[in-house]
Structure 1
Amino acid sequence: MSVVARQGIKYSIIGYLGTLLGIFSTFFIFTNDMAFYGKLRLILPAAEMLLPIVVFGLSFSNVKFFHQANQDGKHHNLLSLSLVGIILNFIIFVAAFFLVCEIFPSLKDSKSWEMKSIILPLILVLALSAVLNKYISNYKRIVIPNIFENIVPKIANIGAFCLFFYFMFSQRVAYSFFLGMFILTFFGYLIYANKLEKIKPDFSLDYIKQDQFWKLIISYSFFGFLGNIGNFLATRIDNIMIAEYIGYEANGIYSTVLSIVTIINIPQMGLFNISAPIINKTIAEGDYKELDRFYKKTSLTLFFLGLVLFSCILVGFPYLTDLIKNGALLKEAEPVVWILGSAFIFDLATGFNSHIISLSKYYRFNIIVMLILAALTIGLNLVFIKYTNLNLIGVAIATAISLTIFNLIKIIFNYQKFKVFPLSMEMLYALVLSFIAITVAIITPNFSNSLLNLFLKPSIVLVILMIGNHFLKIYPLDKYLNKDFFRSLTKFK
């Protein structure tokens, strides 16, 4: 078995373990104190949203130019200067941060300012780790970095929460543990990178001065910066705006609901790693007919499996809230499940639209669209939070609208450039079948025991979907169940 295959299998296992850990902690730990969980859910998103400013795309440059620098024996020089660049960027960023807050004193009333003593050092640690993460990927090693990325943040959240809630330590101690886990992660990256190949620090500027190589690095890093900041703004801003304008408890509720809804994205795990070479090959060969076939196939796969999970979540959610502490608060947020879930289902239906663009010569378009998404998300959130009384429902609507527009733009772009389209009639059949299954499950009489209902309702949905799929032939589950998933995905017609 090749290194890539072994790493891919281990990567998927770690990913699923991380998902299970997240689900367990969401249901049985964080719901005990939504307000403190809301505080924890402000720290990391706030740091990640500002992170691209400090990284400035240098992490991506350590992938893009690694081969060239390695051939010249200067890859350690590139890494060393990148880490120095991160530190210099951080110093400038911190100075600018405090200067802006002095110019606009109202910013000191924000929740982010209140948390600055942990958010700022966390940004530096995450920035240095980001460079080492990408550097390690050049050695085709993704498992250990995946543990650091996927498992450690969950342990940091769980550990900090348990210290505060169960062991009665102060919030300062809990926050210190939280930050400490990421500091340990940075040293873990450093030790692992050094184990792969002994790092020889080299801070000479001679190499990057040759043929003005530094200009090429800065240019590429800038595009990476734009794409990265757009992505983090679009995906992390919800938590920050909820904490700032609605409150910590609301942020904890929203984060819990979001963790439940994102379960429908599980089918995506690992799928891009196996699909990327196929997408790249068809684009390189100009075989857009094959690209369209594969695009529809993967989109249907993601959509159908995500729809099955979403339908089960919808009918089981009310009974799940009866079984966990502070479930009444979550039950009030049930519309958020429907709104966000519907947007995520459409996102799955559009398949790997971003990846098609990023693997083509039009990769810069992804940056533009991501910045549009970020602006839409921020603008719509402000409108719904400030000018309506919808609170979390308004945030969910804002996110759903921006994500849907984001995907529609990419669908149109891909159709114009490659004549490919992800949606199919099978998806419509699946939607109708799902509607019937959900309706039947809802109107089925309840048991007096919520735990029994939690098993009964999703079971009804699964039975109806499986029987309906058998007769309508929407998705070839027989091939999915009888063969390795990724092999069946690329083989069935």
Structure 2
Amino acid sequence: MSVVARQSFKYSVVGYLGFLLGTFSAIFVFPHDMEFYGKLRYVLPTAEMLLPVVVFGLSFSNVKFFNQTHQDGKHQNFLSLSLLGILLNFIIFLIGYFAVNLLFPKLQETEMWQMKRLILPLILVLAFSAVFNKYLSNFKRIVVPNIFENLIPKIANLGAFCLFFFIGFPEKAAYLFFIGMFILGLFGYIYYTNRLEKLKPDFSTEYIKKDNLWKEVLNYSFYGFLGNIGNFIAVRIDSVMIGEFLGFEPNGVYNTLYSIISLITVPAMGLYSISAPIINKHLAENDYEELDRLHKKSSLILFFLGLVLLSCVLVGFPYLTHFIKNGELLRQSEPVIWVLGFAMLFDLATGFNGHIISLSKYYRFNIVVMLFLAVTTVLLNIYFLKNTNLELFGIAIATAISLTLFNIAKIVFNYIKFGVFPLTIEMMYALIIGTLGITVAVIMPEFKSSFLNLFYKPGVVLLMFFVGNYFLKIFPLEEYINRNFLKSLFKF
């Protein structure tokens, strides 16, 4: 097995382990104290939302210019200057941050200001880590960085929560552990990088000044910054705004619900990475007909599997809350599950829309729509929080609207430029089966035991999907369960 294959397999294993750990913690551990969990889920997203300002695309530049700098023997010089640039950016950011808060004293009443001793150091640690993460990808080493990037935050959240709630440590000690895990991750990055290649700090500026390379780097980094800040704002703003406007307990509730509904995205975890080189090949050969076929097939698979999981979650959720501490808080916000669930399902139905754009010569369009998504999400969140009493339901609606508009924009763009379209009539057939399955499961009688209902209701949904798929042939189930497939799987 090649290095790439081994790394990809291990990467997927780490990704799924991280997902399972995060989901288990969100359902069975964190609900014991929604307020403290809400604080943890406020600190990290806030730091990540501000992170692009400090990184300023330098992490991406360490990938873009690696081959050039490596051939010239100056890749470590480029890395050293990137880290120095991060430090200088952070100092400028600090000056600006404190200046703005002093000029506008009202800002000092926000949670962001109150928790600055946690958020600001975390930004610096995450910024350095981001550079090392991308730098290591040049060596086709993605597994260890994935551990630091995906597992460390989950262990930090879980460990800090357990120290505070179950062991009885004060909040400060729990926060110290939380920050300490990320610092440990940064040292892990440094150690692993040094193992691959002895680190030799070099802060000379002669190379970067040659042929005005610094201008090219600055230009590319700026585009990376725009795309990154749009992405982080769009993805993290919910937790930040809920923490500011509604409080930490609602933030804990929302993030728990989000973790539960994220189950439907599991089938997509490996597919996008696998598809990238194939998409790149079709684009390079201008084989848009084959790209369209692949796009439709993969989108249908993701949609069908996501719909099956979503339908099971929707009918089983009310009974799952009986086994979760403070489950009544989650039950009160059940509409959030429905709204976010169908928004994520439509996202799955659009397949690898963003990958097609990112890998094409029109990659800058992704930056535009990402910024559009960020601005739309912020404005809609503010509207629903200030002008309605919908609270978490309003946040979910805002997220669903902005995510749907984001995906529609990419669908239209890809259809105009490449003639590819992800949606198919089979998706409508699947949606009809899902609607029937959910309806039948809901109206069927309940047992007195919530445990039985938790399996019985989703079981009805699965049966409906199996029967419907048997006659309509939407999902090629036989390809995945025939003897030859199983035999080859076990042989592998």
Q: Secondary structure at the match of 2:325?
A: coil
How many angstroms does 1:203 deviate by? 0.7
Q: Partners of 1:11 and 1:444 in 2: how far apart?
A: 42
Q: Which residue of 2 aligns with 1:163?
A: 163
Q: Partners of 1:365 and 1:481 in 2: how far apart?
A: 40
Q: Which residue of 1 aligns with 2:94?
A: 94
Q: Partners of 1:395 and 1:476 in 2: how far apart?
A: 37
Q: Secondary structure at the match of 2:445?
A: coil
Residues 234-272 of structure 1, C-alpha deviations (whole Å, 9 max, x = no match):
000000000100111000000000000111110111211
Q: Partners of 1:218 and 1:395 in 2: how far apart?
A: 36
Q: Which residue of 2 aligns with 1:72?
A: 72
Q: Which residue of 2 aligns with 1:46?
A: 46
Distance 1:246 1:231, change over 3 A: same
Q: Which residue of 2 aligns with 1:353?
A: 353
How many angstroms does 1:484 deviate by? 6.6
Q: Which residue of 1 aligns with 2:127?
A: 127
Q: Partners of 2:384 and 2:485 in 1: how far apart?
A: 45
How many angstroms does 1:451 deviate by? 1.0
Q: Which residue of 1 aligns with 2:31?
A: 31
Gaps of 5+ in 1: 489-493
**AA aligned opposite 2:239:** N
Q: Which residue of 1 aligns with 2:194?
A: 194
Q: Which residue of 1 aligns with 2:118?
A: 118
Asked if 1:436 corresponds to 2:436, the answer is yes
Matches within 5 A, 1:421-460: 421-460=421-460
Q: Which residue of 1 aligns with 2:304?
A: 304
How many angstroms does 1:446 deviate by? 0.8
Q: Secondary structure at the match of 2:447?
A: coil
Q: Partners of 1:481 and 1:95 in 2: how far apart?
A: 60
How many angstroms does 1:441 deviate by? 0.9
Q: Secondary structure at the match of 1:422?
A: coil
Q: Secondary structure at the match of 1:152?
A: helix
Asked if 1:395 corresponds to 2:410, the answer is no
Residues 399-419 of structure 1, C-alpha deviations (whole Å, 9 max, x = no match):
000000000011000000001
Q: Which residue of 1 aligns with 2:277?
A: 277
Residues 335-368 of structure 1, C-alpha deviations (whole Å, 9 max, x = no match):
0000000000000000010110000000000000
**AA aligned opposite 1:231:** N
Q: Which residue of 1 aligns with 2:221?
A: 221
Q: Which residue of 2 aligns with 1:491?
A: none
Asked if 1:258 corresponds to 2:258, the answer is yes
Q: Which residue of 2 aligns with 1:362?
A: 362
Asked if 1:207 corresponds to 2:214, the answer is no
Q: Partners of 1:295 and 1:453 in 2: how far apart?
A: 37
Residues 127-161 of structure 1, C-alpha deviations (whole Å, 9 max, x = no match):
00000000000010111111111111010001111
Q: Partners of 1:429 and 1:436 in 2: how far apart?
A: 11
Residues 17-68 of structure 1, C-alpha deviations (whole Å, 9 max, x = no match):
1111112111111000001100000000000000000000000000000011
Q: Partners of 2:26 and 2:447 in 1: how far apart?
A: 25
How many angstroms does 1:173 deviate by? 0.7
Residues 169-194 of structure 1, C-alpha deviations (whole Å, 9 max, x = no match):
11111111000000000000000011
How many angstroms does 1:274 deviate by? 1.1
Q: Which residue of 1 aligns with 2:5?
A: 5
How many angstroms does 1:481 deviate by? 3.2
Q: Partners of 1:481 and 1:84 in 2: how far apart?
A: 54
Q: Partners of 1:351 and 1:28 in 2: how far apart?
A: 31
How many angstroms does 1:298 deviate by? 0.9
Question: TM-score by structure 2 length?
Answer: 0.98
Residues 169-227 of structure 1, C-alpha deviations (whole Å, 9 max, x = no match):
11111111000000000000000011111111111101111100000111000000000
How many angstroms does 1:443 deviate by? 1.2
Q: Partners of 1:385 and 1:171 in 2: how far apart?
A: 29
Q: Which residue of 2 aligns with 1:238?
A: 238
Q: Partners of 1:159 and 1:278 in 2: how far apart?
A: 40
**AA aligned opposite 2:77:** N
Q: Secondary structure at the match of 1:269?
A: helix
Q: Secondary structure at the match of 1:325?
A: coil
Q: Secondary structure at the match of 2:43?
A: helix
Q: Partners of 1:21 and 1:287 in 2: how far apart?
A: 41
Asked if 1:479 corresponds to 2:484, the answer is no
Asked if 1:184 corresponds to 2:184, the answer is yes
How many angstroms does 1:479 deviate by? 1.1
Q: Partners of 2:269 and 2:12 in 1: how far apart?
A: 7
User: Once the two structures are aligned, what percentage of the paired residues are identical?
Assistant: 65
Q: Partners of 1:384 and 1:480 in 2: how far apart?
A: 44
Q: Partners of 1:9 and 1:440 in 2: how far apart?
A: 39
The number of residue pairs the alignment matches comes to 487
Residues 376-399 of structure 1, C-alpha deviations (whole Å, 9 max, x = no match):
000000000100000000000000
Q: Secondary structure at the match of 1:140?
A: coil
Q: Which residue of 2 aligns with 1:139?
A: 139
Q: Partners of 1:247 and 1:139 in 2: how far apart?
A: 43
**AA aligned opposite 2:372:** I
How many angstroms does 1:475 deviate by? 1.0
How many angstroms does 1:480 deviate by? 2.7
Question: TM-score by structure 1 length?
Answer: 0.98
Q: Secondary structure at the match of 1:133?
A: helix
